[in-house]
Structure 1
């Protein structure tokens, strides 16, 4: 049995309603599910600033990455399942707050929860799940180093359209902000710190973030 979700308007805000068939506990919606319930979930995530990909009623990687981002912002352990805590949070989501004083367009990256937020003043316009430096030594493709994402205040210095192959692999729409460290799309963005130091972004968000962050855009990286 799949959780039944409906939509009801409360003022100007659309919220999710959980309908429990027959008064029993609703089963959880999860990865690879499909149908009206998933479509409603996708619409709600989109309303809240989390990009679930196309609103097509299919729970794929794009929707899962949006669910992870939403869960992390709301203090829920990332999971593809839409359990009771996530359902409640969709009703009453936490308001994400900026890390730095509000001013113009900027990107904030939070290493502990592994999220990226594009801000316009005090308004978050895109919240994305990411994977940053694994914090361990590595030797890959003949290159050795320590996989760390630096913290600090930076600006986008260089961008590359489409796919670009660097010393450590392929990157989609990379936007560099300190040395060889970039925000870029990747086919592998797990729910853990896994990169060589770059900010891995789900592919469906990479081009959009690239467009939002031209050269000179402030990038703030913090541990919290």
Structure 2
């Protein structure tokens, strides 16, 4: 196959076989800001989709709530955004810079003497109801969170930058 045909063909194959799409959203911000945007979260397919005026502009893999810690379904709106949010429920107890008790739920068990609670980082947090939100985190390919919707870091940042307080979020099975 000649080189002029091989390169475009390789690019087409790469696009068609990729699992997710996340275009550069920067240019979108210049054309109408964040109006007409919404996020749909599909818990069955483990994906989040960003729409603008009814058109898909980005799709990202997610990890939603595991068994016993399900992500709530329904229609919501973004009610808080925090680029460097930390959990107020899950994290570690730390003393003198050293973790003395890890992976804890602050509502269970006691705090070791002289320690302080340090919440798990949840970068690019977008709260949509109660303690639930979308944020950057580990996405192993199946439901594994404590109820939030985790996105890969680069996707979380782009979704975060693309929406504002009040943006609709629809979570469905």
Same fold, TM-score > 0.5, yes or no? yes
> Which TM-score applies when normalising by structure 2?
0.66
Residue 49 of structure 1: how far off its partner (Å): 6.7
Residue 47 of structure 1: how far off its partner (Å): 9.6
Which residue number corresponds to residue 128 of structure 2?
A: 177
Residue 51 of structure 1: how far off its partner (Å): 2.9
Which segments of 5 or more consecutive residues in structure 1 lack a partner in the other structure?
9-13, 17-40, 54-102, 137-146
The structure-2 alpha-carbon separation of the partners of 1:46 and 1:183, relative to structure 1 and needing over 3 Å to count, comes to: farther
Which residue number corresponds to residue 107 of structure 2?
A: none
SS, match of residue 189 in structure 1: coil
2:74 to 152, 156, 159: 152
Are the equivalent residues in 1 in contact too, given 2:23–2:57 (CA < 8 A)? no
Which residue number corresponds to residue 15 of structure 1?
A: 12
The structure-2 alpha-carbon separation of the partners of 1:151 and 1:174, relative to structure 1 and needing over 3 Å to count, comes to: same
**Number of equivalenced pairs:** 128
Considering fraction of residues, name the structure with more strand. Answer: 2
Residue 46 of structure 1: how far off its partner (Å): 11
Are the equivalent residues in 1 in contact too, given 2:78–2:166 (CA < 8 A)? yes
SS, match of residue 157 in structure 2: helix
SS, match of residue 65 in structure 2: coil
1:80-119 superposed matches below 5 A: 104-119=36-51
Poorly superposed stretches of 4+, deviation over 4 Å: 45-49
Are the equivalent residues in 1 in contact too, given 2:38–2:52 (CA < 8 A)? yes
SS, match of residue 190 in structure 1: coil
* Greater Rg by CA: 2
Which segments of 5 or more consecutive residues in structure 2 lack a partner in the other structure?
1-5, 25-34, 91-119
SS, match of residue 146 in structure 2: coil
SS, match of residue 207 in structure 1: helix
Which residue number corresponds to residue 80 of structure 1?
A: none
Matched, 1:164 2:85: yes
Superposed CA offset, 1:95-144 (max 9, x none): xxxxxxxx9210000000100000012211110000000022xxxxxxxx
Are the equivalent residues in 2 in contact too, given 1:115–1:128 (CA < 8 A)? yes
Which residue number corresponds to residue 211 of structure 1?
A: 161
The structure-2 alpha-carbon separation of the partners of 1:112 and 1:47, relative to structure 1 and needing over 3 Å to count, comes to: closer
Which residue number corresponds to residue 134 of structure 1?
A: 66
Which residue number corresponds to residue 200 of structure 1?
A: 150
In structure 1, what is the Cα distance between the partners aligned to 2:64 and 2:43?
7
